[in-house]
Amino acid sequence: MAIETTVNGKAVSIEAEPDTPLLWALREDLGLTGTKFGCGISACGACSVHVNGEITRSCSVPVSAVAGKSVTTIEGLKGEDGTLHKVQQAWIDAQVPQCGYCQSGQIMAAVALIQKTGTPSAAQVDEAMTNICRCGTYPRIRKAILAATGQAAVAVEGAA
Amino acid sequence: MGVKRRAFLIGGAAIVGGGLFAVYSADSSNRKRAVELTAKGKDGSFLSWVKISEDDTVTVYSPHIDFGQGSHTALAQMVAEELDADWTKVVVEHAPADPAFANSALGRGFMADMSGQPGVVAALPASFISMAARSMNLQITGGSSAVRFTGQSGMRVAGAAAREALVAEAAERLKVPVSELTTLDSRVIHEKTSASLRYGELAQAAAARSLNSDVKLKDRKDFRYIGQGVHRLDIPAKVDGSATYGIDFTLPDMRVATIMMAPVRGGKLTSVDTAPALAVKGVEKVIELEDAVLVIAKGYWQATKGMQALAPKFSDGGHGGLSTASIYAAQDKLNAAGEKLVAPEGGKLLTADYKAPFLHQAMMEPFAMTAHHKDGRLDMWGGLQDPLAARMMAAESAGVDAAKVMFHPMIMGGGFGRRFPPYSQIVDQLAKIAMQVPYPVKLIWSREQDVQHGAYRPQVAARLQAVTGKKRMAAWASDYAQNDDAAAEGTVPYAIPNFEARHHEYISNQVNAYWRSVNASQHGFFNESFVDELAVAEGEDPYTFRRNHLKAGSRQLLVLDTVATRAGWGKPLPEGRARGIAMVESFGSIVAEVVEASLKEDGTPKVHKAWAVVDCGTTVNPLNAAAQIEGGLIMGLSAAIGEQITLEKGAVVESNFNDYPILKLADSPEVDVHFIESGAKMGGIGEPGLPPAAPALANALFALTGKRVRQLPILAQAKV
Ligand code: FES
Ligand code: FES
């Protein structure tokens, strides 16, 4: 069955069974592998994308549910000219990623939070950022979110 | 020191009459092989490690896998430092999984550590080390070894030797003496005439020159890159989704497989009716292995649905009676047999039993690898801590000659000790199924399979005894039961006149492997909690008690004092908060940590802030080293608070992140990390930040509640 939807601003037709999780449709049918598989049960957030602007764990949403909607993945965050989204840039400036595997999801969650709140408070960050990072990059994620929203400068000690 | 170092280098040089690369690969055919594998066109190849291309790109071949610890960037910094390279043109690649890249610097480092006699190892001919490393298929990443062994003994020498050859080549071309030449940003410069030559134009000819093994390395004070928090080279690709992990790899016509293994480790597949899976749309094949069943389909979802349709039967391998409680009971019995300490008159005897559960690494990317068997050749793609050993294992499983197996290392979504090939069942499983199908196949483990079929940190029970008096520890004896001898991790940094740690072997049905910091996390928790108990028994402040057992002027004392000062030890805290302190030495680094904690309304611990002070000798990239310490500390807290793998009827109970809880952002503290650049022998950075976290937290909770945590995780005990 073909599901018509919009992914990263482009109309696409996904040839998949309707119960296929959006995650696997993105990864295997559209080749958008920036969205990661971590748990499959909505417990880790590695698969986070935006559906009509809402943060969504794509492992737990059937692809049929996004018919006619607009999906944004990590690959769709950059500007048309290739410039990084300010959150992506803040992630580089604060040197957030370690293994990096959770970071697509973390960035999508942070972007959604910032779109919603403008300048999130510490409590809002705590509440919204529930994605797991096994490498423990949380302190730097906090720092990067503050920097991306103009609430703090990223001090990079000893940078060359 | 200087003499030993020379001995090491001369040993290496002698083998090929002055060619430095012999330190790293023992014979000339090996060098030729490395050149063939890496050099194309007019590239020159130095040693097995560094390549300079015509366009000045410097490619550093890392024999280590970077699963997030940033060692690739640190190794590149070390090469660039000695080479005087232009940092903007330095790239790092995984070295191919080939014996030519087997890592003799690593073998030397491990052997030195194992023998405790660096001098002896330094005097061994390098050919011997290299041979030993290669016969052990040593291309591993672990033991926090990449930077301290490969970097110090390998990369820096490679960079310096390459630089020297480039300068010699330039001197000949410019017809000036070598002494008049300097190097900067990938150019050889003759200041007098303002002439200069790019490394790229010199590289090919320079590589053909014989390399000097006896190069002089730079002095610390001249470092430009080492010690700088340069941005990691791998990070840009990790913020835009373009980084390709093992699970992302794809080939035309590829199929996807998933697996279900015998729930009880050691059990076998007894029967399975494959028809229901084959009836699922997209499913193409069901393969039975001795202890598992696999479904191959067009995509992962179809394979999963096929698997859900199956009801395979497995035996329990005779382990059906095993449980977490039965293991602890058996371990307690072993420990109880240990000799009892006797307190002399006026002394106190303290005895306490401690327990630490099996733990899962929970790398964020579950196991996923791809294989293709075609025309007698087996290619494999994925991320493992020792690509070379993976290649050998795959060859054996597939029954293919190792020369016909190619392993393509890919970046990994975490490892934490899980990805050592001997424990990575996926290599064997994938090699076997790849031989049965004509198309490329990617095997993805579900998170449930990943959690339940892990290579866990061993479950350990320990009985600790100590005699104290006059605010001093006079004797210490510990008995601990686990799979392997943890002699190195069972010690404490304190001066205790009589110290003994006794290992009692206990083997369960689980594969006990490495978990970030290996045995230092359980034993660090036991020992540093018990030291705290002794301090309390003696009526002494836990920090003062520790420092009174450390030598004046020692590195340990400085680390401990520094963390106490930074954390404001002893200063008043808001109501309901308390501090805990702990210090553990592991992988050559000394780390002391303080945590400030409170209890939430529901009685679960909350860590507000943490401090870590680290003496790892020298930091190559302080920015990244701090990330490793932050991450290690948080992983240590996560494990202490909520993580455990338990067994019922021989099978693992936990199955996914819903019942194997990983600490999240809201519960993670800010971490203040401070390095003491002592210049001592370089220690590791990936693991040593972890072990002090659990005891520091447990000690803070004792200060808060008066209740001693003697079994982990804290939450499971609170519930009981
Ligand atoms: S993979 Fe979707 S939340 Fe974990
Ligand atoms: S960076 Fe490794 S899991 Fe987050």
The 3 state secondary structure assigned to B113-168 is HHHCCHHHHHHCCHHHHHHHHHHCCCCCCCCCCHHHHHHHHHHHHHHHHHHHHHHH
A83 lines ligand 1 (CB under 6 A): no
- How far is B632 from B629, CA to CA, in rounded Å? 5
Q: How confident is the model at residue B56 (pLDDT cuts 50, 70, 90)?
A: confident
B248 at A interface, C-beta within 8 A: yes
Q: What is the pLDDT of residue B62?
A: 73
pTM of the predicted protein model: 0.87
Identify the weakest region by mean pLDDT among B216-225, B253-262, B652-661, B711-720.
Answer: B711-720
| Minimum distance, in Å, between the CA of residue A6 and any CA atom of chain B | 19
Please spell the DSSP secondary structure of B101-112, one letter per residue: G--HHHHHHHHH
Nearest ligand 1 atom to alpha carbon A36: 1
Contacts of B248 in chain A (CB under 8 A): 27, 33
Look over chain B and give the mean of its residue pLDDT values, rounded to a whole number: 85
| Minimum distance, in Å, between the CA of residue B655 and any CA atom of chain A | 10
Q: How confident is the model at residue B217 (pLDDT cuts 50, 70, 90)?
A: confident
**Closest in A37, A77, A138 to B247, CB measured:** A37
Class of domain A2-76: alpha beta
The answer to whether the beta carbons of residues A114 and A107 sit under 8 Å apart is: no
Average pLDDT over residues B604-610: 96
Distance of alpha carbon B645 from the chain centroid: 21
Contacts of B668 in chain A (CB under 8 A): 136, 138-139
Nearest ligand 2 atom to alpha carbon B364: 3
The answer to whether the beta carbons of residues B137 and B388 sit under 8 Å apart is: yes
Identify the weakest region by mean pLDDT among A115-119, B162-166, B584-588.
Answer: B162-166
- CATH for B460-716? 3.30.365.10
ipTM: 0.96
pLDDT tens digit sequence for B91-130: 887 766 555 555 544 444 444 443 333 333 333 334 334 4
Every domain range in chain A assigned CATH 1.10.150.120: 86-152
Q: Is the pLDDT of residue B555 over 50?
A: yes
Which has more pLDDT, A151 or B304? B304
Q: Which of A92, A129, A135, A140 to mutate to test the pocket of ligand 2 (most atoms within 8 A of CB)?
A: A135
Q: Is the pLDDT of residue A40 over 60?
A: yes
Q: Hey, what are B704's tokens?
A: 């808060």
User: In this structure, which residue's CA is closest to atom 3 in ligand 1?
Assistant: A42
Q: For B415, left (φ over 0), alpha (ψ -120 to 50), or beta?
A: alpha
The answer to whether the beta carbons of residues B229 and B621 sit under 8 Å apart is: yes
Average pLDDT over residues B324-332: 97
Q: What is the pLDDT of residue B676?
A: 97
Q: Chain B: residue nearest A98 by CA? A: B68
With tokens 């597949």, the residue in question is B269
Contacts of B623 in chain A (CB under 8 A): 95, 156-159
Please indicate whether, in this complex, the C-beta atoms of A24 and B362 are within 8 angstroms of each other: no
Q: What is the pLDDT of residue B78?
A: 85
- CATH for B5-240? 3.30.365.10
Identify the weakest region by mean pLDDT among A127-136, B95-104, B320-329.
Answer: B95-104
With tokens 């969504």, the residue in question is A56
Domain spanning B255-316+367-444, CATH architecture? 2-Layer Sandwich (3.30)
Every domain range in chain A assigned CATH 3.10.20.30: 2-76
Sequence-distant (6+) residues with CB within 8 A of B601 are none
- Domain locations in chain B as residue ranges: 5-240, 255-316+367-444, 460-716
B414 lines ligand 2 (CB under 6 A): yes
Q: Is the pLDDT of residue B391 over 50?
A: yes
A100 lines ligand 2 (CB under 6 A): yes
Average pLDDT over residues A36-57: 98
Q: Hey, what are B453's tokens?
A: 């079929």
- How far is B534 from B271, CA to CA, in rounded Å? 56
B631 at A interface, C-beta within 8 A: yes
With tokens 């060098």, the residue in question is B31
Which has more pLDDT, B697 or B48? B697
A109 lines ligand 1 (CB under 6 A): no
A101 lines ligand 2 (CB under 6 A): yes
Q: What is the pLDDT of residue B66?
A: 66
B415 alpha carbon – ligand 1 mean position (Å): 19
Q: What is the pLDDT of residue B157?
A: 77
DSSP β-ladder status, A54-57 and A10-15: unpaired
B241 at A interface, C-beta within 8 A: yes
Provide the 3-class DSSP secondary structure of residue B678. coil
**Closest in A40, A95, A134 to B235, CB measured:** A95
The answer to whether the beta carbons of residues B49 and B154 sit under 8 Å apart is: yes
Beta strand extents in B148-276 (DSSP E only): 181-184, 187-190, 195-198, 255-261, 269-271
H/E element, B287: strand B283-289
**Closest in B244, B656, B658 to A33, CB measured:** B244
Average pLDDT over residues B346-366: 96
- How far is B152 from B154, CA to CA, in rounded Å? 6
Q: What is the pLDDT of residue B202?
A: 85
Identify the weakest region by mean pLDDT among B111-115, B162-166, B168-172.
Answer: B111-115
From the CA of B416, the nearest ligand is: 2
Strand partners, B87: none
Average pLDDT over residues B268-273: 98
Q: How confident is the model at residue A34 (pLDDT cuts 50, 70, 90)?
A: very high
DSSP β-ladder status, B460-469 and B348-356: antiparallel
For residue B552, the 8-state DSSP code is T
Size of interface A-B (CB pairs under 8 A): 207
Which residues numbered 92-121 in B keep a CB inside 8 Å of some CB on A? none
Instruction: Please determine, looking at this structure, whether the domain spanning A86-152 carries the CATH number 2.40.50.100.
Output: no
A132 lines ligand 1 (CB under 6 A): no
Q: What is the pLDDT of residue B40?
A: 46
- How far is B546 from B493, CA to CA, in rounded Å? 9
B221 alpha carbon – ligand 2 mean position (Å): 35
Q: Chain B: residue nearest A28 by CA? A: B299
Which residues numbered 80-109 in A keep a CB inside 8 Å of some CB on B? 84, 88, 91-92, 95-104, 107
Which has more pLDDT, B124 or A123? A123
Same fold yes or no, B5-240 and B255-316+367-444: yes
A41 alpha carbon – ligand 1 mean position (Å): 6
Q: Is the pLDDT of residue A24 over 80?
A: yes
Mutate to test the interface with B, among A134, A146, A156 (most CBs of B within 10 A): A134
Average pLDDT over residues B419-443: 95
Cα separation of the two ends of chain A: 54
- How far is A44 from A57, CA to CA, in rounded Å? 9
